């Protein structure tokens, strides 16, 4: 897995990102993390939105600053995306967590989600987030296994209004001393 890295969204990756985005859209699956649902037709506008969000500029009510990264293969293919929320609102504490991540449909079950979460924990540590909340839907066994692999300690589930059960895990970054 040394052939992948996290990168900030950038204009030079427009075509690989559009390929990633369109594959996901065509799959009909929910866009995860939600930030990849931003329409990239105005690519420079999308990049500005992501940059502004990271700096806390123009955030909608109830939102916190967040950092978005793309998981990039050495060959230039965007494999996945992660959104790291710098803080937790009540909603994020229950159902969103600090880190939301996803791997494009054609690249799943290859170990990329584990690498993406590993690299994301490093970025969270850089942001001063030492105790990281990561969540997944109850039936998302693959995500649950990935979280557990990285030291996730399960806490009380959260049940959304529609009955969907969210599993919640705290990960204590390895660099943090207690």
- Kindly report, residue by residue over 4-54, the tens digit of the pLDDT: 999 999 999 999 999 999 999 999 999 999 999 999 999 999 999 999 999
- Flag whether the pTM goes above 0.75: yes
Question: Tokens at residue 38, please?
Answer: 């931003």
Residue found under tokens 């500029």: 57
Contact 46, 38 (CB under 8 A): yes
Interatomic CA distance for residues 150 and 118, integer angstroms:
7
Domains within the chain, CATH numbers bracketed: 4-172 (3.40.630.30)
CB atoms within 10 A of CB 159: 13
110-118 mean pLDDT: 96
152-177 mean pLDDT: 89
Tell me, what's the pLDDT at 175?
55
Interatomic CA distance for residues 61 and 65, integer angstroms:
11
pLDDT above 90 as % of the chain: 93
Q: Which residues contact 162 (CB under 8 A, 6 or more apart)?
A: none
128-145 mean pLDDT: 95
pLDDT above 70 as % of the chain: 97
């Amino acid at each position: 897995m040394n052939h992948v890295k996290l990168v900030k969204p950038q204009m030079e990756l427009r075509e690989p990102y559009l390929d990633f985005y369109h594959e996901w859209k065509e799959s009909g699956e929910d866009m995860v993390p939600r930030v990849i649902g931003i329409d990239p037709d105005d690519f420079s506008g999308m990049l500005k939105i992501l940059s502004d969000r990271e700096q806390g500029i123009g955030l909608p009510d109830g939102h916190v600053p967040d950092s978005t990264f793309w998981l990039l293969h050495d060959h230039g293919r965007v494999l996945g995306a992660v959104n790291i929320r710098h803080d937790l609102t009540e909603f994020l504490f229950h159902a969103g967590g600090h880190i939301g991540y996803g791997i494009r449909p054609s690249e799943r079950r290859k170990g990329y989600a584990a690498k993406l979460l590993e690299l994301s924990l490093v970025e969270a540590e850089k942001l001063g987030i030492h105790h990281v909340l990561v969540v997944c839907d109850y039936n998302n066994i693959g995500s649950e296994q990935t979280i557990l692999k990285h030291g996730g300690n399960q806490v009380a589930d959260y049940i959304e209004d529609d009955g969907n059960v969210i599993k919640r895990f705290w990960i204590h970054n390895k660099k943090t001393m207690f």
